[in-house]
Amino acid sequence: MIRFLLSLSDALRLHFTVSPLGEVVRLARAIANPKTFSQGAHTAWLRDQEAAVTRLHEQHDLRPLIVLLSARSDYYPDFLTPTPDVVVGEIDDELTRVRETPPGQAAKEIAVCLDSAPGLDSAVEEQLRSRTAAATLARLLGALWEGLVAPAWPQLRDLLERDVLYRSRVLAQGGLATLFADLEPLVTLRGRMLDVDVQSECTYELGGAGLRLMPSAFIWPYALVVTEAPMTLIYPSRGVASLFAREHGADAAVSRLMGPTRAAILECVGEPRHTLALARSLGRSPGNVADHLKVLRACGLVARARLGRNVMYSRTPLADALLAGVRRIERR
């Protein structure tokens, strides 16, 4: 567990950012660690992209990147995911920053991974311990970007920007409690203490430095923290089920699992809705909808946040992952 101690000035200095390279690295981690990353949108994405992944392995020696990202379950080099200084980063700028990482910094962070990894292939280890390792890794990440992410980046970018707009709005109207409400138990706010469920154990007092918040389509069921300045919290984006959306209504499989009304409600709260709006949309009484919402919330599939006079309900990352998994299975 990493704990952030937030001062009032920190609460006013929360900045959102989107990183295209970060999405590439998180997909690469899923490729490198299939057992660890066996659920979530990244799994469905990679299975839909099996042919592209095969081509990448045929066209590029991905071993240096795969070995580095699989060497440790609790760490990978920070220099691979530089935090953008703008709301939405540019892939070329981010890859340049990776490529231009000082050799000493790259060697130190790579060594943290490799020094605890047994049975390394000598040729791969030589590449990773070379002074040109950062350039090699930037080239491989660029290949993954072109092969896996770039064709769908407009859709992914739209998804991540919608999360930023939503959370910016709820932060302005409802404060910190509403900002993190749907991320529990991965991210939990207790007063001025923000707990992030990761393997490390540490407490950071931000001291007015603020915190960068970065949504990701390919991180659930985990969250990540970058402790190098600027400190960054990477969390599951809302709405990842839309990456696998189909035009018909509630999926039959989900309906069989939880009943047609709850499945329909889950479809409707891809964007925040209040009880009366849901009741009108579904042709049911507000009391009936409220009962179903209570069950869905108890199961961790919807979260609520007060905005003005209304209590808004929205899907959680767990619900998005459920819908994404069902839709991927149906498509196959």
**Ramachandran class of 121: left when φ > 0, alpha when ψ lies in -120 to 50, beta otherwise:** beta
pTM here is 0.75
Same domain, residue pair 173 and 291? no
d(CA 100, CA 105): 10
Domain that holds residue 111: 20-152
**pLDDT exceeds 80 at position 306:** no
Residue holding tokens 């970007």? 145
Rounded Cα distance between 309 and 307, Å, is 6
Q: How confident is the model at residue 150 (pLDDT cuts 50, 70, 90)?
A: very high
SS (H, E, C) 74-132: CCCCHHHCCCCCCCECCHHHHHHHHHCCCHHHHHHHHHHHHCCCCCCCHHHHHHHCCCC
What is the CATH number for 315? 1.10.10.10
* Predicted local confidence at residue 139, as pLDDT: 97
Residue 48, pLDDT score:
83
Given a cut of 60, whether residue 234 has pLDDT beyond it is yes
Query: Would you state the structure tokens that stand for residue 287, as one six-digit string?
Result: 């009391």
Do 245 and 217 belong to one domain? Answer: no
End residue of a domain, out of 238, 266, 292: 238
For residues 30 and 138, membership in a common domain is answered with yes
- Assess whether 245 and 234 both reside in one domain: no
In this structure, what are the phi and psi dihedrals at residue 170, rounded to the nearest 5 degrees?
-70, -30
pLDDT greater at residue 106 or residue 192: 106
220 lies in the same domain as 260: no
Provide the percentage of residues in the chain whose pLDDT is more than 70.
93
Is the bond preceding 221 in cis, omega lying within 30 degrees of 0? yes
The values of phi and psi at residue 12, to 5°, are -90, -5
* Per-residue model confidence (pLDDT) at position 248: 41
Per mean pLDDT, which range of 197-201, 222-226, 293-297, 318-322 is the poorest?
Answer: 318-322
Provide the number of structural domains found in the chain.
Answer: 3
Would you state the structure tokens that stand for residue 264, as one six-digit string? 């329909």
| Rounded Cα–Cα distance for residues 217 and 156 (Å) | 8
Convert the pLDDT of each residue in 45-97 to its tens digit: 888 888 999 999 999 999 999 999 999 878 899 999 999 989 899 999 999 99
Looking at per-residue pLDDT, the higher value among 250 and 284 belongs to 284
**Average pLDDT of span 19-31:** 95
